[in-house]
Amino acid sequence: MKAIPIIVSGARGRMGSAILRLAAKDPTFTIVAALGNPQGTGSIDEQLRVDGTTPDIPIHENLADCSPPAGCVLIDFTAPEASRHYAEEVVRFNMALVCGTTGLSSADRDAMQSASASVPVLVASNMSLGVALLADTARRLAAALPDYDLEIVEMHHRHKKDAPSGTAITLAEAAADGRSVSLADTAVYGREGHTGERPAGEIGIHALRGGDIVGDHRLIFATDGECIEIAHRATSRDTFAAGALRAARFIAGKPAGNYTMRDVLGLA
């Protein structure tokens, strides 16, 4: 099988460097280039040292400078503004896109949707296979237990810039979909003061920050007499990086369209 050519953006970030490090020792992939600041602190090769050797990976600021080959996949973990730009660029260069950027606005998501009319696009707030299964479980439980109160609690490291996490929103959207309701109509983000009795059908979403926690998410389905709790804890960013590479394997060569991690796992 021919190796899949990939370009990874955000190369000097936590996720970008993790993806490059795993891809460098995976014969499934050929790393064409990395996107980031060529003048950034530290050597990109030293960040990616694998088994005592350092892969020779060029780093560029612009996708055009990477000369993407046919069948190339862009794996993007950057910031919303940059991701929206890349959604336009992948159409220009006829590339598949795997985007794991969180904090996307509705306009950013519209840009991704527009790109999917021309190229294959997969957007996921969390590339963990476990989280993809958790979202599917949230959908099924919410459908089976429509009268149970649902609360979602997430906790991340102190440096995370958006709240609640994109994963918490994804889980809430899955639950709302299971109940055939709109998340916009049912979500409440934290509680404070005299809130009164909890309305039926409400989906509570709560964000905690502290320490170096990679990512904790907990679903709580509660009713009179019993409570069901399901949790997922990520202990390494390699979990997300491995999921992103699996998504890249899946999407390579696919026709234009909008794909999800449910498609990757065969759950759709």
Residues serving a catalytic function are: 156, 160
What does the pLDDT read at residue 36? 85
Domain 129-234 = CATH 3.30.360.10? yes
Q: Note if the bond before 164 is cis, omega within 30 degrees.
A: yes
* Length, in residues, of the chain: 268
pLDDT in tens, 90-124: 999 999 999 999 889 999 999 999 999 999 999 99
What does the pLDDT read at residue 47? 56
What does the pLDDT read at residue 32? 95
CATH code for the domain defined by 4-123+237-264:
3.40.50.720
What does the pLDDT read at residue 55? 62
Stretch 258-268: mean pLDDT, rounded?
Answer: 93
Please give the C-alpha separations between residue 16 and each of 75, 86, 145, 199, 204, in angstroms, as whole numbers. 8, 15, 39, 42, 32
For residue 68, is pLDDT > 90?
yes
User: Considering the chain, what is the average pLDDT of its residues?
Assistant: 92
Structural domain boundaries in the chain: 4-123+237-264, 129-234
pLDDT band of residue 157 (cuts 50, 70, 90) is very high
